[in-house]
Amino acid sequence: MSGNQKLWGGRFEAEVAEWVEAFGASIGFDQKMAKQDLQGSIAHVIMLGETGIITQSEALTIKNGLMDLLAELEEGQLQFDIANEDIHMNMESLLTAKIGPVAGKLHTARSRNDQVATDMHLYLKEQLQYIDKLLLGLRQVLVNLAEAHVETIMPGYTHLQHAQPISFGHHLMAYYQMFTRDSERFAFNLYHTDMSPLGAAALAGTTFPIDRQMTSDLLDFEKPYANSLDAVSDRDFILEFLSNSSILMMHLSRFCEEIINWCSHEYQFVTLSDTFSTGSSIMPQKKNPDMAELIRGKTGRVYGDLMALLTVMKSLPLAYNKDLQEDKEGMFDTVDTVTVSLKIMTGMLETMTVNKDVMSKSTTRDFSNATELADYLAAKGLPFREAHAIVGHLVLECSKKGIFLQDIPLEDYQAQSDLITDDVYQVLDSRNAVARRQSLGGTGFDQVLWQIQKAKENVFH
């Protein structure tokens, strides 16, 4: 029986069958971390040379070989082999082919366990910063759009029923607040990602006199992990990312649901750019909000990535287990999904036409001003519950006659309550109803402008 030729194969007599090898390999997806793997190795070999664990000459030879591989990677020249299982073994094999047996000294005082964890921290740290940049762009677009529509009136909804008239700018700023919380969650996520596992080795650290602070600094991490077992087995930072991404996608999906409704013939509140719409293969009149629908649909995909990793992690004993190979594909998938969704949403909002007149008109032939009438009576001293009952009766009578509150003659109003005078029609006007709601955070124009000013201080500083 021939010996096993793997870099780890000294203990084994037989080769692994190809189909089993394919099942265990991760190079098909972890090659996404090729740059990070080389960066981690460069920091590690510099430290090995500086601490005298290997000679400075050996360290320089290895470092130069790694730098050559990094240049080739950036030029798209590297080829990976499934026989080498993962990105780490592929890089070591490529380095050995380039500089000879001295490449074997690179793995001194290091394991694939801390190596892969380091790669993931480097990768996700970079992606978190990029996602926050995209979120900032989306928030800026929302602030600009809200500022343009402070005095655009629309119906506010509860239970998908017209509730009260509000400022469209106010509605948009609600989403600004959601996406701001998303940004804050990712910032905290970055705090837990900006940590170096390198030097934890397999699980217990190493007998070599390594300098973990040096490699942490070289890789621009905030600090090294304090516990070697935790360093190689922690995936909380990925779980946080997937959880935060799920909340973000939920926010995007809610917004998309509204945009999809607003585009419909029944609403006609907005018109999407052709860039973010598609047609029908059979119905020539159709203009479908497909990009919004795709974001809504891809939300479930991100939820699935979160549940998959939570399930993988729920019963893993310390420290490293092969199950952890399943931590990467969901992370990569979520990064791709979130980044493209943010780009699409930002572009969709930037190019969207708001049909202000349609929005405003929809608040004049409804009963969204009913609360105004109840508040009007309450302000004149009538107990609110009595005012509520009177207005409810008036709405019922209007519904039977096919008219609205602003159509009721003054004498009919006064038959219900002598507290009602001719100023009631000003109160019932939807624009006035919006403008008067000046409680903190309300939809009144001055309050919306205050919200926008506060937001500008955060996103345009």
- The dihedral built from the CA positions of residue 431, 437, 438 and 441, taken in this order, carries a sign that is negative
The total number of residues written for the chain in this structure: 461
* Cis amide bond preceding 163, omega within 30: no
Distance CA 174, CA 166 (A): 12
**Residue 280 catalytic?**
yes
Structure-token pair, residue 134: 């995209």
- The answer to whether 377 touches 419, Cβ cutoff 8 Å, is yes
Q: Which residues contact 92 (CB under 8 A, 6 or more apart)?
A: 7, 84, 103, 104, 106, 107
Inter-CA distances, 63 with 34, 98, 106, Å: 16, 12, 9
Helix (H) or strand (E) holding 43: helix 34-50
Distance CA 351, CA 273 (A): 6
From the candidates 2, 159, 439, 461, give the one annotated as an active-site residue: 159
Distance CA 357, CA 453 (A): 26
Distance CA 256, CA 104 (A): 53
Kindly tell me the burial class for residue 154, based on how many C-beta atoms sit within 10 Å of its own C-beta (0-12, 13-18, 19 or more): buried
**Alpha helix stretches (DSSP H) within 315-444:** 328-350, 356-361, 370-379, 384-401, 410-416, 424-428, 430-435
Q: Which residues contact 300 (CB under 8 A, 6 or more apart)?
A: none
Going by their DSSP bridges, the two strands 223-224 and 195-196 should be labelled as parallel
- The answer to whether 112 touches 212, Cβ cutoff 8 Å, is no
Q: In degrees rounded to 5, what are phi and psi of residue 158?
A: -130, 140
The CA radius of gyration of the chain, in Å to the nearest whole number, is 31
From the candidates 264, 280, 393, 399, give the one annotated as an active-site residue: 280
- The answer to whether 186 touches 132, Cβ cutoff 8 Å, is yes
| Active-site residue set | 159, 280
